[in-house]
Amino acid sequence: MTVPMPWKDVAAPPAGAPGAAALPTRAKAKRIIPGSEYWKARKTSAAREYAEVLGVVAIVAVVGWSAPVSYHVFGYLYLLMVIALSLRVGRWPVLVAAVVSALTWNFVFMPPRMSFSVLDVDDTLMLGSYFFAALIGGQLTARIRAQERHERQREQRATAFLHLTRALAEARTMDAAAAAALRQADDLFSARTALLLPDENGSLTAHPAGTFRLGEQERAVAAVAWARGQPAGRGTEILPGDGLYLPLLRAGQALGVFAVQLPPELTELSTAQRDLIEGFAAQIALLVEHEQLRAAGEREKLLEESDRLHRTLLDSVSHELKTPLAVLRSAGEKLTTDDPDRRVNLAGEIRTATRRLDHLVANLLNQTRLETGRLEAQLDWCDVRDLIGAARRAAGDAVAARTLKIEVPPDMPLFLADAVLMEHVMANLLFNAALHTPIGTTIRVTAGLDEEHRCVRLEVADNGPGIPAEINATLFQKFQRGPAARAGGLGLGLSIVRGFMEAQHGQVSAGRSPEGGALFTLQLPYAPHGAVPGDET
Amino acid sequence: MKPDAAKPEVLVIDDEPQIRRLLRLILEEDGYAVREAETGKAGQGEILRHNPDAIILDLGLPDEPGVDVLRRLREWNATPVLILSVFGQEGSKVAGLDAGADDYLTKPFGEAELLARLRALLRRIKPAVAASKFRFGRCEVDLAARRVTRDGHTLHLTTTEYALLRLFITHRDKVLTHRQILRELWGPKAEGQTHYLRTYMLRLRRKLEDDLEAPRHFQTESGVGYRFLSDPADAA
């Protein structure tokens, strides 16, 4: 992100940056916020280090008190001790170690013992080397520690981004991705975060997955950050307040706002912390942009598709509707005839036309229900015989001229399905079988469980001419009609079959029956039902 | 008050003038007296003034949902109600039946179907002679002796099977929702346990029906419930 960040320059010396460990503890202490790990600069207990230093000096003094060796030996011992300590403790404790060692050596060991003595050149050199060793060692240690800290923070950042990227990659929807990103941000910063995106009316709305509940005032700050495309809130020059609001910038345009509610004790952010938050915001911005592009693409595709659909629909619907309407109209006009035989014929024509209209309207409505996504299967325990019976009644006269063979095993169990949807599915398959086969064809309906008793299988097979290979690929698409289809039907039947089966977590497939005709297989997940209360005889 | 005391009076509550005209045509030809109302409110007024023998109620009224009209009506009146619904409204059908409607028809419906349903409704309020024996198909139920025979041979029915059969006979030719049957036989807690009902229906059909794949008397109404037809030939 190349956003001007005026607040960057005014920020205090960063605690996490190299060399920070040696700074006076002022800045450090302010960053220690209970319960928010990230904000804590790792605090090696200074008091413990001082105690350690004093302890070692005292031990050497006590142990060496009665040793019958020259006081020079203790001078060297203290020098080695300071060098050793410089590798362990911070810069200030090691300087203290040097001072205390010098005083102790002089006071305790240098004759006259238990009093300060005047130093000769040798001893002065020895004392000077204490400080030299302490300074060099302390500097080196501080540098190594700073590097360690830096490494740790980089690793933390890398891990955070890795987690974020992984979570985003796993998320399938924008909502899931936003929720994952916010969860990651919450965990990492131990803070409350929120994602604000413009809704249809163009006003910023918080994503429900956010944990930072914005009040009236906070929303206003977020809106400023969004409008200006600049960070606002805590640590910035724009409306400093409780939270930090980063605009999600892509190509100079703010797509939304990422809000972090910082712990109230925290006054400034380190460069690393700021970078991390900004990095997160950039990732989320990328996600939002990606989603917007995808949605735009989808809308366009949808528009195209619906345009094409409308044309097809209008063409075939007007044809399909006009035929029975024409029959109804002329039959209605001719009904005034006095010839009773003709009247019977006309009534028959009217019945056929209305049935056709009925079937057409039912399929159109079903397709609409599928397309608007308002279809929700009401799963209930079903007896397959009921489903077949209802479908048979619904298909009515269409299958009357075909032989219907129903094979249901006597121990066929109940299974979960939506009886009404299944009735339409089976009726459409029966209707289809009747439409595409010659009179006298046998239609076989079989039901059963698969070998593992995991799914219910329903088959509708016929010994007709079978499904032409060239329409296999588009068989279940809407407005696809078989090449030999006689007048009648919009080509919605199988599309509805598939839609209804999927609404019940089932599936449908087509193939060739053993008799050489078409075979449609319906599958539904199966699990046995609970116990049925017993019964006295 | 009624214009012709011999003629049963039917009130049609539907906002579609064409449906009302058609129903009037069909019903008057079959010997019913017909009254019409366009809205739920007007319908209620008609019921209060004329106390019809049966009501045909459209579920999609302009002023209020038909189910609400029905619920209010059932607070004080037990006149048989046949509800009219359109395709794809299984939910409202069940709601209507559970709210106290006696039967339903889905538009578009056939004339024979409509008249059969209406006959069944009116038969229920004027029960035939309290016969202790009831016949359907090849079966005979002796309600007093609690005995079921088929072709003269005594059939063994369990307590629950018999209770189910009795319930169907009491409400013959009329649709019973899953909820109503479950409540009656297994209590209100079992209202969602449709597998009890399916299991017992299968047992009952095994014992009483000729063809299990195409039952004639114990009809399934998809997504709604069951209907027991004592005389399938009459039910169109």
Please indicate if any CB of chain B lies within 8 Å of the CB of A365.
yes
B222/A420 Cβ within 8 A = yes
Q: Which of A21-30, A357-366, B5-14 has the highest mean pLDDT?
A: B5-14
Report the residue of chain B nearest A383, measured CA to CA: B198
A528 CA: distance to closest CA in chain B (Å): 10
Span A506-518, average pLDDT: 89
Question: Measuring CA to CA, which residue among B88, B96, B94 is closest to residue B65?
Answer: B96
B121 CA: distance to closest CA in chain A (Å): 23
Mark whether B137 and B119 lie in a shared domain.
no
pLDDT exceeds 60 at position B44:
yes
pLDDT in tens, A277-308: 888 888 888 888 888 888 888 888 888 877 77
Residue-level pLDDT at A451: 82
A537 CA: distance to closest CA in chain B (Å): 4
**Measured distance CA(B30)–CA(A343) in Å, rounded:** 20
Domain that holds residue B230: 133-235
B236 CA: distance to closest CA in chain A (Å): 12
Tell me, yes or no, whether B25 lies in a domain: yes
Mark whether B119 and B137 lie in a shared domain.
no
Mark whether B18 and B120 lie in a shared domain.
yes
Mark whether B110 and B142 lie in a shared domain.
no
Mark whether B109 and B13 lie in a shared domain.
yes
Per mean pLDDT, which range of A93-107, A392-406, A474-488, B24-38 is the poorest? A474-488
Residue-level pLDDT at A483: 58
- In B, which residues are within 8 Å of A384 by CB distance? none
The predicted complex's ipTM stands at 0.83
Q: Which two tokens stand for residue A52?
A: 């350690």
Q: What is the CA radius of gyration of chain B?
A: 19
More confident residue, A109 or A522: A522
pLDDT tier for residue B127 given thresholds of 50, 70 and 90 = low
Among B91, B107, B125, the domain boundary falls at B125
DSSP structure class, residue B146: T
pLDDT exceeds 70 at position A129:
yes
Q: Which two tokens stand for residue A8?
A: 């960057």
The 3 state secondary structure assigned to A320-380 is: HHHHHHHHHHHHHHHCCCCCHHHHHHHHHHHHHHHHHHHHHHHHHHHHHHHHCCCCCCCCE
Spacing of C-alpha A318 from chain mean position: 44
Among B74, B102, B125, the domain boundary falls at B125
Our count of domains for chain B comes to: 2
pLDDT exceeds 50 at position A5:
no
Report the residue of chain A nearest B215, measured CA to CA: A389
Residue-level pLDDT at B233: 77
- In A, which residues are within 8 Å of B161 by CB distance? 535
Mark whether B115 and B200 lie in a shared domain.
no
Please indicate if any CB of chain B lies within 8 Å of the CB of A103.
no
Question: Measuring CA to CA, which residue among A456, A452, A461, A462 is closest to residue A501?
Answer: A456
A369/B88 Cβ within 8 A = yes
pLDDT in tens, A148-188: 888 887 887 788 778 888 877 777 777 787 888 888 777 77
**Residue B138 is part of a domain; what is its CATH number?**
1.10.10.10
Question: Measuring CA to CA, which residue among A189, A159, A181 is closest to residue A256?
Answer: A181
Match 């605090």 to its residue by tokens: A43
Per mean pLDDT, which range of A127-131, A384-388, B12-16 is the poorest? A127-131
Query: In sequence order, what DSSP letters do the residues of A499-529 get, joined into one string?
Result: HHHHHTT-EEEEEE-TTSSEEEEEEEE----
Residue-level pLDDT at A536: 64
B88/A406 Cβ within 8 A = no
A385/B212 Cβ within 8 A = yes
Choose from B156, B185, B195 for mutation: most chain A CBs within 10 A.
B195
Tell me which H or E stretch contains A410. Answer: none
Q: How many Cβ contacts (< 8 angstroms) between chains A and B?
A: 72
More confident residue, A65 or B205: B205
Span A60-72, average pLDDT: 82
Mark whether B96 and B140 lie in a shared domain.
no
Angle made by CA atoms B117, B122, B124, in degrees to the nearest 5: 100
B46 CA: distance to closest CA in chain A (Å): 33
Among B74, B100, B125, the domain boundary falls at B125
Mark whether B112 and B60 lie in a shared domain.
yes
Report the residue of chain A nearest B214, measured CA to CA: A389
Please indicate if any CB of chain B lies within 8 Å of the CB of A419.
yes
**Residue B84 is part of a domain; what is its CATH number?**
3.40.50.2300
Tell me, yes or no, whether B141 lies in a domain: yes
Identity of the residue in B91, B108, B213 whose CB atom sits nearest the CB atom of A388? B213
Mark whether B58 and B111 lie in a shared domain.
yes
pLDDT tier for residue B128 given thresholds of 50, 70 and 90 = low
**Measured distance CA(B185)–CA(A452) in Å, rounded:** 34
Span A10-25, average pLDDT: 37
Mark whether B18 and B115 lie in a shared domain.
yes
Per mean pLDDT, which range of A54-58, A100-104, A369-373, B177-181 is the poorest? A369-373
In the sheet that holds B153-155, the strands lie side by side as B133-136, B139-142, B147-150, B153-155
pLDDT exceeds 60 at position A92:
yes
A384-395 vs A419-435: helix crossing angle, rounded to 10: 50
B159-170 vs B178-186: helix crossing angle, rounded to 10: 130
Residue-level pLDDT at A11: 35
**Measured distance CA(A232)–CA(B157) in Å, rounded:** 80
Amino acid letter, B188: P
A529/B195 Cβ within 8 A = yes
Choose from B213, B216, B229 for mutation: most chain A CBs within 10 A.
B213
Identity of the residue in B87, B201, B215 whose CB atom sits nearest the CB atom of A389? B215
- In A, which residues are within 8 Å of B195 by CB distance? 381, 414, 529-530, 532
B199/A414 Cβ within 8 A = yes
In this structure, the strands spanning B153-155 and B218-221 are unpaired
Q: What are phi and psi of B168, to 5 degrees?
A: -65, -40
Query: In sequence order, what DSSP letters do the residues of A214-261 get, joined into one string?
Result: --HHHHHHHHHHHHHTS-EETTSSSS--SEEEEEEEETTEEEEEEEEE
Long-range CB contacts for residues B143-149, cutoff 8 Å, separation at least 24: B143/B169, B148/B208
Angle made by CA atoms B29, B30, B31, in degrees to the nearest 5: 90
- In A, which residues are within 8 Å of B201 by CB distance? 383
Identity of the residue in A366, A420, A530 whose CB atom sits nearest the CB atom of B90? A420
Span A88-97, average pLDDT: 83
Q: What are phi and psi of A534, to 5 degrees?
A: -70, -175
More confident residue, A31 or A222: A222
pLDDT exceeds 80 at position B155:
yes
Share of residues in chain A with pLDDT > 70 (%): 88
Report the residue of chain B nearest A423, measured CA to CA: B222
Residue-level pLDDT at A336: 85
Tell me, yes or no, whether B36 lies in a domain: yes
Span B98-118, average pLDDT: 89
Torsion of CA B184, B189, B193, B199, to 10 degrees: -40
Strand partners, B228: B218
Interacting residues of A211 by C-beta distance below 8 A, sequence separation 6+:
A182, A186, A192, A193, A194
Choose from A365, A383, A537 for mutation: most chain B CBs within 10 A.
A383
Mark whether B117 and B181 lie in a shared domain.
no
- In B, which residues are within 8 Å of A371 by CB distance? none
CA distances from A509 to A74, A81, A162, A322, A412 (A): 93, 83, 41, 33, 22
Please indicate if any CB of chain B lies within 8 Å of the CB of A417.
no
Mark whether B164 and B212 lie in a shared domain.
yes
Please indicate if any CB of chain B lies within 8 Å of the CB of A406.
yes
Span A38-48, average pLDDT: 62
